[in-house]
Amino acid sequence: MLTGNNSLKGMRRMNKSYTFRYEALTPISHGDEGTLSTITPFRRQRVYWNGEYYDIPVVSGNSFRGGALRRKGMKRFCDLLGLKKESLRAKPYYLLFNGGALSKGDSDVSIGAKKEFRRILPLVSIFGGGIDNMLLEGRMQIGFIYPIGKETQVITGIHSDRSVFEFLNTVFYTRRDDYMPEDLTMKEMTVQMKYECEIMIPGTKFVQQVTVTTDEELELSAFGFLMKIFQEEPHIGSKANVGHGFVTFEPSAPLPDSKPFEDYVENNKEMIISYIRNLA
């Protein structure tokens, strides 16, 4: 069941949980990556409710983490530094924007090196990542985004008399082929392909749990920085290019202040840039 607030007593790091509520302002789409056809069904997750199994529509936590938070957050971080992402070498680029990748190493990374990394790059620390033979766990636990309905109340704890399937619909689009070989007539070269996309309709309400597992001021502020960017134009799912995914956003508690992190970046630009470049 999704909850509002949590803390682990007796441990140095504290868990701060938020329940995020959304309401769709435009159609929400989140395609099933395993389907390759002109019909894109909404992603599903199986749940057990009232003695039956249901494959309910969900928006994955990974899409929220990578699309709504990471790419936008890292772009803004580079903007604050005055650092063009195109100027980065492969390793630091993939670490910032994709989580990096591990490679074989002959020695373990020291605790001191990991602490220095988290201290200098608190925004990366929040996401976690890997570079060379150093692996850092992230400080965020990102939950799935569930539509509120009868079938999901066992997960969300929110009572509803409506089925989540009442909020599903299908929209149709056409895609035009711009291929124009010289030997085709105008009539022959007009090629359009129809495709379908399963969506959740405007007005659908969703809920999500996100937990931050740190009590470090700069990491908490870095999380606040991410959510500040998200709040500027809250969006979930995919197909923003055709107007899908725009939502209202309501957190269960005030989010951390982004100013300490922004001040830290402003006051330490040269050091941070040098550290990032030396990761290559």
Calculate the average pLDDT of the chain.
Answer: 87
The neighbour count for residue 112, using CB atoms within 10 Å, is 8
The neighbour count for residue 72, using CB atoms within 10 Å, is 16
> Which whole number is the average pLDDT over 169-180?
71
Q: Which residue has the higher pLDDT, 91 or 21?
A: 21
Would residue 33 count as lying in a domain? yes
pLDDT tens readout for residues 229-277: 999 999 999 888 888 999 999 999 999 999 999 999 999 999 999 999 9
> Which whole number is the average pLDDT over 155-162?
95
**121 touches 219 (CB < 8 A):** no
pLDDT at 10 over 60: no
Would residue 81 count as lying in a domain? yes
pTM (2 d.p.)? 0.85
Would residue 179 count as lying in a domain? yes
Closest to 118 measured CA to CA, from 15, 220, 270, 266: 220
Would residue 235 count as lying in a domain? yes
Encoding tokens for residue 146? 């569930």
pLDDT at 178 over 60: no
Would residue 4 count as lying in a domain? no
Q: Which domain holds residue 206?
A: 15-277
pLDDT tens readout for residues 126-149: 999 888 778 889 999 999 999 999
Encoding tokens for residue 142? 């990102």
Number of domains forming the structure of the chain: 1
Would residue 256 count as lying in a domain? yes
Would residue 114 count as lying in a domain? yes
In the structure, what pLDDT confidence band is assigned to residue 224 with cuts at 50, 70 and 90?
Answer: very high
Would residue 9 count as lying in a domain? no
